[in-house]
């Protein structure tokens, strides 16, 4: 089998041919071949746009289309992914009507997996779109006001300099003009998103029904910042575009996955110490995973960079309840819901 391929997330397809040769039982070998082609094909495959696989670029992520090929030969019921990463297998488990349990030692992986398998209702999605536009408008207004204030100050300084020169005095140093750098705009967006999420948490607090949570604006902000490395759209507009794309994807996922299915349960632990007692539904029916590549990818540095990117300093302690992600080494939090970025990254003490 020959396939033109390129690792996902690296831009336009490269002129590279991968030759896949297999041995063994044909019914298994053909599935593994299809999985490899799906994992390394650059262009989206049929059905790839159902959910959020790859929405956030996470290293060595298992594409949902690759997981789909393997699930064809695995039994139904409950699926366990002990190295779930960004949740590609969990996403496909939902679409195929399976209960899913994901485990990972990286809080950043759990943050991504949690949001990429989120299935909010239409009302929550509409509210999130409105919130994103409010945040963008707020930041644009702040930037406009800052420019206006700086221009006024510059004009006043120029007038003072002219008057001083007329009197034969030393003119005061000119004030620098206002700058609206992209980094400053991202900082303003982060502050506005933090405020919006706090209001959402108050509106949808502890009494929220299972599966509901404050809108994942932080996740979209992180994804938008990733996209900003290649997309030079102004930050407020890029955030709105990212939120719209996210909302469209979660609605497609909600339509494709059976409504009766519970959201995936995510466990935060080292897979080597994962015990059956930590699994919410007892024994599982199938295991599907893509093990980590510690010699190739530096997962810890990636999480640290993401923390720095979003300017997360002085984070709150773990005393705040973090539902949705459970600690597999002890007590658990019941009731699935989304976890804030501060709590997710704080769990690793990065």
Span 222-268, pLDDT tens digits: 899 888 888 889 999 999 999 999 999 999 998 888 778 899 999 98
Residues 135 and 226 in one domain: yes
For residue 165, is pLDDT > 60? Answer: yes
Quick one: pLDDT at residue 278? 84
Residues 224 and 138 in one domain: yes
What share of the chain has pLDDT > 70, as a percent? 71
Confidence of residue 204 (pLDDT cuts 50, 70, 90): low
The answer to whether position 274 is within a domain reads yes
pTM score: 0.75
103 forms beta bridges with 267
CA-to-CA separations, 158 to 59, 110, 149, 302, in angstroms, rounded: 52, 54, 14, 47
Mean pLDDT over all residues of the chain? 74
Question: CA 114, CA 324: separation in Å to the nearest integer?
Answer: 8
Both tokens assigned to 40 = 């390394």
Helix boundaries (H) for 96-181: 107-116, 122-166
The residue among 133, 113, 102, 87 whose CA lies nearest residue 339 is 113
Name the least confident of 159-163, 282-286, 327-331.
327-331
101 forms beta bridges with 80, 265
Structural domain boundaries, residue 187: 122-164+176-247
Quick one: pLDDT at residue 2? 41
Give the distance from CA 197 to its chain's centroid: 15
For residue 198, is pLDDT > 90? Answer: no
The sign of the CA dihedral 52, 55, 59, 60 is: positive
For residue 346, is pLDDT > 60? Answer: no
For residue 78, is pLDDT > 90? Answer: yes
The answer to whether position 252 is within a domain reads no
Residues 135 and 242 in one domain: yes
Structure confidence by residue, pLDDT tens digits, 15-74? 445 677 778 888 888 888 888 888 877 555 444 545 566 788 888 888 888 888 899 889
CA-to-CA separations, 177 to 13, 51, 156, 188, 235, in angstroms, rounded: 43, 45, 12, 19, 21
Residues 126 and 49 in one domain: no
The answer to whether position 171 is within a domain reads no
Quick one: pLDDT at residue 208? 35
- Number of domains comprising the chain: 3
Quick one: pLDDT at residue 304? 78
Could you give the 3-state DSSP secondary structure of residue 185? helix
Phi, psi (rounded to 5 degrees) for 314: 65, 45
Quick one: pLDDT at residue 163? 74
Ranges 128-137, 152-161, 184-193, most confident: 128-137
Ranges 8-22, 216-230, 288-302, most confident: 216-230
Quick one: pLDDT at residue 3? 42
Residues 199 and 265 in one domain: no
Name the least confident of 125-129, 141-145, 342-346.
342-346
Element (H, E) at 265: strand 265-268
For residue 172, is pLDDT > 80? Answer: no
Quick one: pLDDT at residue 138? 92
For residue 110, is pLDDT > 60? Answer: yes
Residues 204 and 148 in one domain: yes
CB distance 102 to 84 below 8 Å = yes
Residues 53 and 82 in one domain: yes
For residue 134, is pLDDT > 90? Answer: yes
The answer to whether position 170 is within a domain reads no
Quick one: pLDDT at residue 142? 86
Residue 104 DSSP one-character state: E
Could you give the 3-state DSSP secondary structure of residue 69? helix
Residues 182 and 93 in one domain: no
For residue 4, is pLDDT > 50? Answer: no
Quick one: pLDDT at residue 338? 36
Quick one: pLDDT at residue 131? 92
Residues 26 and 109 in one domain: no
Domain with 335 in it: what CATH number? 3.40.50
Quick one: pLDDT at residue 294? 76
Confidence of residue 298 (pLDDT cuts 50, 70, 90): confident
The residue among 87, 172, 112, 184 whose CA lies nearest residue 142 is 184
Quick one: pLDDT at residue 340? 44
Residues 97 and 68 in one domain: yes
């Amino acid at each position: 089998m020959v396939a033109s391929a390129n690792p996902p997330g690296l831009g336009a397809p490269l002129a590279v041919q991968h030759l896949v040769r297999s041995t063994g039982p044909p019914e298994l070998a053909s599935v593994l071949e299809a999985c490899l082609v799906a994992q390394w094909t650059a262009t989206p495959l049929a059905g790839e746009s159902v959910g959020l696989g790859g929405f956030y670029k996470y290293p060595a992520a298992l594409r949902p289309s690759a997981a789909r090929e393997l699930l064809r030969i695995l039994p139904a019921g409950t699926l366990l992914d002990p190295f779930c990463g960004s949740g590609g297998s969990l996403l496909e488990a939902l679409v195929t009507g399976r209960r899913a349990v994901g485990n990972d030692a990286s809080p950043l992986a759990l943050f991504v997996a949690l949001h990429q398998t989120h299935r909010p209702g239409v009302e929550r999605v509409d509210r999130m779109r409105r919130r994103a536009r409010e945040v963008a408008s707020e930041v644009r207004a702040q930037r406009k006001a800052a420019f206006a204030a700086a221009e006024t100050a510059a004009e006043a300084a120029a007038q003072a300099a002219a008057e001083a020169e007329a009197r034969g005095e030393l003119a005061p140093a000119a004030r620098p003009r206002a700058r609206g750098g992209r980094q400053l705009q991202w900082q303003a967006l982060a502050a506005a998103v933090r405020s919006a999420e706090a209001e959402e948490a108050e509106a949808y607090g502890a009494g929220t029904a299972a599966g509901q949570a404050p809108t994942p604006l932080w996740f979209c902000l992180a994804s938008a910042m990733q996209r900003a490395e290649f997309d030079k759209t102004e930050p407020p507009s890029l955030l709105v575009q990212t939120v719209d794309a996210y909302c469209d994807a979660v609605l497609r996922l909600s339509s494709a996955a059976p409504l009766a299915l519970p959201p995936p349960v995510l466990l935060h632990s080292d897979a080597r110490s994962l015990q059956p007692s930590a699994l919410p539904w007892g024994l599982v029916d199938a295991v599907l995973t893509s093990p980590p590549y510690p010699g190739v990818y530096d997962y810890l540095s990636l999480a640290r960079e993401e923390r720095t990117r979003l300017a997360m300093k002085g984070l709150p302690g773990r005393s705040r309840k973090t539902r949705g992600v459970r600690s597999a080494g002890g007590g658990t939090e019941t009731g699935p819901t989304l976890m804030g970025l501060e709590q997710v990254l704080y769990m690793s003490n990065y």
